[in-house]
Amino acid sequence: KAGVTQTPRYLIKTRGQQVTLSCSPISGHRSVSWYQQTPGQGLQFLFEYFSETQRNKGNFPGRFSGRQFSNSRSEMNVSTLELGDSALYLCASSIIAGGSGNEQFFGPGTRLTVL
């Protein structure tokens, strides 16, 4: 079974631009969560999508948004990029929604650099 895939793996953008990251979950998994990892803040939860609905959202500004498609693939979008948005963005998939203790399987991440 293929694991979680994320594209692109690396991205360089400039301040003010917007960016879209993509995540394909493990086949059969319906929940996709996104996390931001920075040296200063560590791993922080962005949002979770389940059956095309945003189920849960972390404490991030509205510039961070996402969506999930009927095939469970998910995208996250960051508009008006700031230098502080430079981070590793990790996507995780699980069979069912969070709260049930199910394992979340992580992708390799997208390394975003904002110049």
Residue ranges that bind other proteins, judged by CB under 8 A: 33, 35, 42-45, 48, 55-56, 58, 88, 90, 92, 97-101, 103-109, 111
CB of 55 to other proteins, least distance (A): 6
Nearer to other proteins, 17 or 54 (CB): 54
Q: Which residues fall within 8 angstroms of residue 81, CB to CB, at 6 or more apart?
A: 13, 14, 15, 16, 17, 18, 19, 114
CB of 70 to other proteins, least distance (A): 22
Q: Which two tokens stand for residue 112?
A: 């975003």
For 83, the 3-state DSSP assignment is: helix
Nearer to other proteins, 48 or 85 (CB): 48
CB of 87 to other proteins, least distance (A): 11
CB of 47 to other proteins, least distance (A): 9
User: Could you tell me the end-to-end alpha-carbon distance of the chain, in angstroms, rounded to an integer?
Assistant: 37
DSSP lists the bridge partners of residue 31 as: 50, 94
For 46, the 3-state DSSP assignment is: strand
Nearer to other proteins, 11 or 45 (CB): 45
